[in-house]
Structure formats: C-alpha cells, structure tokens
C-alpha cells in the first residue's frame, strides 16, 4: 500500500468514526427526550414519526422490493400499508427500549394480564421443572426483545445470540441496556457458536434469531425464494440432543403484547438418526414465514434476507 493509500485509508476511517459519532449523538438525544415522556406517549410519538419518515429513506426501496418479491399476490396498496405498518412497528420498538421498565409488567402468578400476556405458560413451567437446557428460536417480529425477559420471570436464564448495531457507539449503549434486562448475551461474530455451546454444556438454555442472512449458510427457501440460513441451531441441537421451541412476540392494540411459546418441534433426521441440518434450517424458515404471513407488518422487511446469487 502506497503512502497516499495509507493516508486515504486513515482519512476514511476518521470520517466513518465521525459519522458514527454524530449518528449516535442524534439517537441518544431522541432517546433522552423519550425518557421524559409517559410510555404510551413515547411509543405513539415514535410510531407516528417513523411511519412518515421511513418511506422517505433510501432503505425503503429494499422494503418495497422484498414485499413485491415475497407477496406478489397482494395489490400495491396492500404492500404499501404493510410497509408503513412496519415502519410504525420499528418506531414503537425504538421507544420501547427506553420505557421497558414501565412496559414489562408480566407476573406469572397474577390473576389477570396487564400489558403482557403469555401463551404457553405451562411449557415455560415444564422446562424449568425439567432442569434441562432447551433451544429457543424466534424472528424479528413484534418486539422480540421481550422474550428473554419473559423467560427470566419464570426463573429461566437464556443466553441469547444477537447481532450488534454497526455503529460502535450505539452498539455499546444497546449492549449495556440489554445486559441489564436480558441476562447473558453472545454477539453474533466469530466464536459465537462456542459461546452458545458452552452455555448448553453448563445446562443453560439459549435463544437464537434465525431470520437473518448468513453468507455461508445452508441454501433453502423463504417465501419460495432462495435464502441462506445459519445452520448453527440444528448443529447445536444435534450436538446436545436438546428440545427446540419456537417462540415469538405478537404486538397487540393498545401497546400490549402476546408472547407465544410453542411446543418443541420434531426435527427432521437422516437415515442414521442424526438431525438433518439442511432440512431443519428449512423448517426454521417455514416457521418464520408462517409467522410473517400472519402479521406481515410486524416483521423487519428492511434487511436483505434473500440471496440474489442463487436466483
């Protein structure tokens, strides 16, 4: 690398750090303002704002392309409504980061539900009583951040795999907030598989988001189109022979939520009885697709989930 190239690289790095710093300052200012508002007003304000600003940002074109490719049977107006609803959902979730202490009111022993209701309470209780580790999986639907917090109310510690934001200043703030409410976290980077494996070996349950693109993943389909899915979950299930439970969050009217824990799924197996990794990754995709079709405006359509190279 020539001296000029070195100087240009350093300049690019400094420019990127400056941009990240400015972005973080803007985000932190918004969060500080939201902290001053009652929970419902903060959530409503961010939903209103993102529903109007979201369609104006460049990434909205990805949302529209994804919806057009995944749901061609819908009319353009129906897809537009889903996209606007998705941006509103994103706004609510941003606000919910800072009002979580006001928001999460679930008590397993309460006679009536508050903001949070749980479907699958008996499954949680059975898992805790068994004392054995399980693997939970979910997608970016509703406010998926509430799931490990809910598990903790049953005395169930979940080590969760998560992808930090690209902005390092925001990532540090988000990690600190999540760690105080969600227990052990494993960043999605090199060594993540080992971290989850250690948790399972220690008898702890783990949670995995399975609807993100993984360049080295197993090829399958999602909404009938090619995708690559991280095979980590089926590999862990095969290694530790533990149950795998789907779980999701459904956003309800009035800033309420329904957390759904499903029974353990029967994983496909090969002729020698081992878990079939490719078939299981497809089963994960099919489960998330079922969820998304039911509440399409509650899923994050703004990431590049599909693999154009496989089309």
Residue in 248, 78, 28, 59 with CA at minimum distance from that of residue 50: 59
SS3 126: helix
Beta strands (DSSP E) in the chain are: 116-119, 135-138, 158-162, 185-187, 205-209, 218-222, 225-229, 244-252, 256-261
- Write down the domain spans for the chain: 3-100, 106-298
SS3 215: coil
Token pair 């939520």 is at which residue?
257
Could you tell me the pTM of the whole model?
0.88
Q: In angstroms, rounded to a whole number, what is the distance separating the alpha carbons of residues 140 and 154? A: 23
Side by side, the strands of the sheet bearing 158-162 are 116-119, 256-261, 244-252, 135-138, 205-209, 158-162, 185-187
Digit-by-digit pLDDT tens for the chain (311 residues) are 777 665 766 667 777 788 878 887 777 788 788 888 888 999 999 999 999 999 999 999 999 999 999 999 999 999 999 999 999 999 999 898 888 777 888 888 888 888 999 999 999 999 999 999 999 999 999 998 888 888 888 988 888 876 666 677 766 766 665 554 555 666 566 567 888 899 899 999 999 999 988 888 899 999 999 999 999 999 999 999 999 999 999 999 999 999 999 999 999 999 898 999 999 999 999 999 999 999 999 999 998 898 776 55
């Amino acid at each position: 690398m020539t001296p000029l190239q070195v100087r240009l690289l350093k300049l690019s790095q400094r420019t990127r750090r400056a941009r990240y710093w400015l972005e973080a300052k803007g985000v932190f200012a918004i969060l500080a303002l939201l902290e001053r508002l009652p929970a419902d007003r903060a959530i409503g304000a961010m939903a209103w704002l993102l529903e109007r600003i979201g369609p104006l940002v460049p990434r909205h074109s990805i949302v529209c392309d994804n919806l057009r490719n995944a749901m061609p049977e819908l009319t353009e107006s129906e897809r537009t409504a889903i996209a606007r609803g998705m941006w509103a959902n994103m706004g609510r979730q941003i606000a919910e980061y800072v009002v979580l202490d006001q928001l999460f009111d679930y008590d397993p022993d309460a006679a009536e539900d508050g903001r949070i209701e749980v479907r699958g309470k008996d499954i949680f209780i059975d898992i805790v009583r068994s004392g054995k580790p399980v693997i939970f999986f979910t997608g970016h639907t509703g406010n998926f951040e509430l799931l490990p917090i809910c598990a903790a109310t049953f005395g169930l510690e979940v080590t969760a795999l998560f992808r930090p934001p690209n902005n390092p200043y925001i990532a540090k703030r988000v990690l600190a907030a999540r760690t105080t409410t969600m227990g052990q976290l494993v960043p999605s980077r090199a060594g993540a598989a080992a971290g989850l494996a250690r948790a399972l070996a220690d008898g702890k349950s783990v949670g995995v988001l399975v609807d993100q693109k993984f360049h080295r993943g197993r090829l399958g389909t999602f909404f009938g189109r090619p995708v690559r899915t991280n095979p980590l979950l089926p590999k862990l299930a095969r290694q530790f022979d533990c149950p795998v439970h789907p779980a999701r969050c459904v956003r309800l009217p009035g800033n309420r939520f329904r957390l759904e824990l499903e029974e353990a799924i029967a994983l496909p197996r090969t002729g020698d009885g081992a878990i079939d990794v490719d078939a299981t990754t497809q089963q994960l995709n099919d489960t998330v697709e079922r969820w998304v079709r039911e509440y399409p405006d509650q899923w994050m359509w703004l990431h590049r989930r599909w693999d154009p190279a496989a089309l």
